[in-house]
Chain A
Amino acid sequence: MSKISLKNLSHSYLSSQVNKEDWALRNVNIDWNDGGAYALLGPSGCGKTTLLNIISGLLNPTEGQILFNDVDVTNKNPVERNIAQIFQFPVIYDTMTVFNNLAFPLKNRGISEQEIKNKVEEIAEMLELTSTLHNRASGLTADGKQKISLGRGLVRSDVNVIMFDEPLTVIDPHLKWILRSKLKELHQKINRTMIYVTHDQTEALTFADQVVVMHEAEIVQIGTPVELFEKPRHTFVGHFIGSPGMNILPCKIDNGAISINGNMIETKIDIKDKSFSKTEVGIRPEFIEFNESGLPVKILKVSNTGRHKIIDTESESGKIKVIAKSSTNIPTGSAFLNFKKDYTYVYGDNWIIE
């Protein structure tokens, strides 16, 4: 049980770093509170797994520190850090039975036979592995094997953190849902810090209390699912979370007044005395309405998903997607859009301006 802090963490797989791109992880600062359920969300290759392997001690960071309960563990190995990690593909010991697979991490730590037996049976019960407990692990299906991997991660009750590296990739969609709920349930039961790496926003948003979004080797935002949706702090978060993602349109800032192609946009933000090489307005499709006046657009396409309509429109500054209720009457040809003031944000060089 402990709080995990990462301080000024950077990592590169190259021996010398010249460009920004040479880093797999750039200046990460984050505190993972004890008992939290976190998701680490980002596209493939953004550094999620690197970050995970650094926390677990499989990788030594190029720069920076890892603290467990304010004790520096940067140079400690995974066993000393006492963590559990579950990998993308099922990792099982082929020659052992399911029972011995689950017991393996305990046996290596010299725990008594009786205690191992109780613990393994408890975990097997939880993961519904009891009926196959004494079969050879290599005979199981892919999801059965992944359950064993999960079980080996959960079997030790004293670990500081349990980390999941896209553990449900190989699992069938309907089982995915069941296993994910199981993990969530488990988190409430054992109350251990869990970090769940994924590139799937649904998975992240349903599992975690706090979602950490990574993009190009950096952490761009940490927040609850609602915060990420309502107030993305980086244009990437806007794009990546939500379906369809946030509309990002180039804008001009003239003495505090924001305009898209000559049309004034109202926001709650005061942005005098700031200069950026690139400024953009971000607005989610959910917060746009049709009106008599406003930003002029052409209607390109209307798709009805049943629950709502997604309207593709085109303004002179680029395409804008709008989500409207199924019952809404959509104008044809040209129309005008209004942005809800409270949810309209301005981004300077991709970062939110406040």
Chain B
Amino acid sequence: MNKTVNQKAWLFVIPVFVLVAFNAIIPLMTVVNYAFQETFGNNVFMWEGTRWFKQILLSDRFHAALGRQILFTLIILFIQIPLGIFIALTMPKEGIGVSVCLVLMSMPLLIPWNVVGAMWNIFALPDIGFLGHSLNALGFDYNFTQQSGDAWFTTVLMDVWHWTSLVVLLSYAGLRSIQPAYYQAAEIDGASRWSVFRHIELPKMKKVLTIAILLRFMDSFMIYTEPFVLTGGGPGNATAFLSIDLVKMALGQFDLGPAAAMSLIYFFIVLTVCWVFYNLMMKNEGQS
């Protein structure tokens, strides 16, 4: 049967295209535009070619920010993913406890990011904050506004508090979807608790964990609001992650060209890592 060709259908795509154009395509293209030009205001631009890209890629400042960013993301992934799975495994499977746990778990996720930053800022203040004061009272020399180690500790702790729940909820959903027959078969086969986890629970959670790791990678790699409110990137540049550094460059120094080039490099890194990771994880999924 021949299908009739009806080009009018394209009209239906226009509203979406316009929306996406205004919220994504045009802003992105503007950034691309800036990345290759120099401006001193008054809407006057000069072509610079790849100069900003070379400058960013060779700058120590970018390397340092990228290094801090990678370290931060690795730390929180290594804490949040295992911790999230562990909490999901220990959560109740039926009864009133399920709802209680789910609500408690969702709570941090519902708090606006700048509020999280502000909460932790006050919570961790060495003189009046509960955490800061208690740590000092216990004999620790803790001051996140002045010591970079303490600033890192507080930022990581805040992120773990804020986002582990997401991993928990995803893992819990994955665990609940495992049919009881798997556990029963394992029991009959004489499997140990570790074997059940290794050969049943973990493989069955693979897809949700892939999503969880991707989401946590992207969010933590692009983290801005919380550390901005908590430490402002300090002390010094100790917690100036990529996005904080980027904003400093773009809005603090008004170096639009280098900032735009940095944005694109940043975007490209996130995209590449996600693509490679997703394809690696899903490599064998086609057959089953």
Interface residues of A (CB under 8 A from B): 53, 56, 58, 77-79, 83-85, 87-89, 91, 93-96, 104-105, 108-109, 136, 138-139, 149, 152
Query: Which of the residues A77, A79, A87, A96 comes within 8 Å of B185, measured between beta carbons?
Result: A87
Asked if B188 and A108 make an inter-chain contact with CB atoms under 8 angstroms apart, the answer reads no
Pairs A–B under 8 Å by Cβ, sample size 16: A58-B184, A58-B187, A77-B187, A83-B188, A85-B185, A88-B181, A89-B181, A93-B200, A94-B199, A94-B204, A94-B288, A95-B202, A104-B191, A105-B188, A108-B189, A138-B284
Query: Which of the residues B185, B191, B288 comes within 8 Å of A139, measured between beta carbons?
Result: B288
Does B177 count as interface, using CB distance less than 8 angstroms? no
Does B272 count as interface, using CB distance less than 8 angstroms? no
Q: Kindly state the separation between the CA atoms of A89 and B182 in the bound complex, as whole angstroms.
A: 9
Q: Beyond the given A79-B188, A84-B188, A104-B191, could you list 6 further A-B residue pairs with CB under 8 A, ordered by the A residue number?
A: A53-B184, A56-B184, A87-B181, A96-B199, A108-B191, A138-B288
* Residues of A close to B195: CB separation below 8 A: 108
Q: How many A-B residue pairs have CB under 8 A?
A: 59
Q: Kindly state the separation between the CA atoms of A320 and B234 in the bound complex, as whole angstroms.
A: 91
Known: A93-B199, A139-B287. A87 touches B184 (CB 8 A): yes
Query: Which of the residues A53, A77, A88, A152 comes within 8 Å of B189, measured between beta carbons?
Result: A152
In the complex, which residues 269-285 of chain B have their Cβ closer than 8 Å to any Cβ of chain A? 284
Asked if B287 and A79 make an inter-chain contact with CB atoms under 8 angstroms apart, the answer reads no
Q: Kindly state the separation between the CA atoms of A89 and B179 in the bound complex, as whole angstroms.
A: 10
Asked if B185 and A95 make an inter-chain contact with CB atoms under 8 angstroms apart, the answer reads no
Asked if A108 and B192 make an inter-chain contact with CB atoms under 8 angstroms apart, the answer reads yes
* Residues of A close to B288: CB separation below 8 A: 94, 138-139
Q: Kindly state the separation between the CA atoms of A84 and B192 in the bound complex, as whole angstroms.
A: 17
* Residues of A close to B190: CB separation below 8 A: 79, 105, 108-109
Q: Kindly state the separation between the CA atoms of A94 and B186 in the bound complex, as whole angstroms.
A: 13
* Residues of B close to A94: CB separation below 8 A: 199, 203-204, 288
> Which of A56, A79, A91, A105 has the most chain B CB atoms inside 10 A of its CB?
A91
Q: Write the chain A residue with the least CB distance to B184.
A: A58
Q: Write the chain A residue with the least CB distance to B189.
A: A105
Q: Pick the 6 closest A-B CB pairs, nearest first.
A: A108-B190, A91-B185, A105-B189, A87-B181, A138-B288, A93-B199
Q: Write the chain B residue with the least CB distance to A165.
A: B181
Q: Kindly state the separation between the CA atoms of A87 and B199 in the bound complex, as whole angstroms.
A: 18
Q: Write the chain B residue with the least CB distance to A77.
A: B187
* Residues of A close to B284: CB separation below 8 A: 136, 138
Q: Write the chain A residue with the least CB distance to B204.
A: A94
Give the Cβ gap from B287 to chain A, nearest Cβ, in Å.
Answer: 4
In the complex, which residues 164-193 of chain B have their Cβ closer than 8 Å to any Cβ of chain A? 179, 181-182, 184-185, 187-192
* Residues of A close to B204: CB separation below 8 A: 94
Give the Cβ gap from B95 to chain A, nearest Cβ, in Å.
Answer: 12
Give the Cβ gap from A9 to chain B, nearest Cβ, in Å.
Answer: 19
Q: Write the chain B residue with the least CB distance to A84.
A: B188
Give the Cβ gap from B118 to chain A, nearest Cβ, in Å.
Answer: 45
Q: Kindly state the separation between the CA atoms of A127 and B182 in the bound complex, as whole angstroms.
A: 22
Asked if B181 and A78 make an inter-chain contact with CB atoms under 8 angstroms apart, the answer reads no
Q: Write the chain B residue with the least CB distance to A159.
A: B188
Asked if B199 and A138 make an inter-chain contact with CB atoms under 8 angstroms apart, the answer reads no
* Residues of A close to B202: CB separation below 8 A: 95
> Which of B187, B190, B192 has the most chain A CB atoms inside 10 A of its CB?
B190
* Residues of A close to B192: CB separation below 8 A: 108
Query: Which of the residues A85, A105, A109 comes within 8 Å of B184, measured between beta carbons?
Result: A85
Q: Kindly state the separation between the CA atoms of A93 and B200 in the bound complex, as whole angstroms.
A: 6
Asked if B187 and A79 make an inter-chain contact with CB atoms under 8 angstroms apart, the answer reads yes
Query: Which of the residues A78, A91, A95, A108 comes within 8 Å of B203, measured between beta carbons?
Result: A95
In the complex, which residues 140-185 of chain B have their Cβ closer than 8 Å to any Cβ of chain A? 179, 181-182, 184-185
* Residues of A close to B287: CB separation below 8 A: 138-139
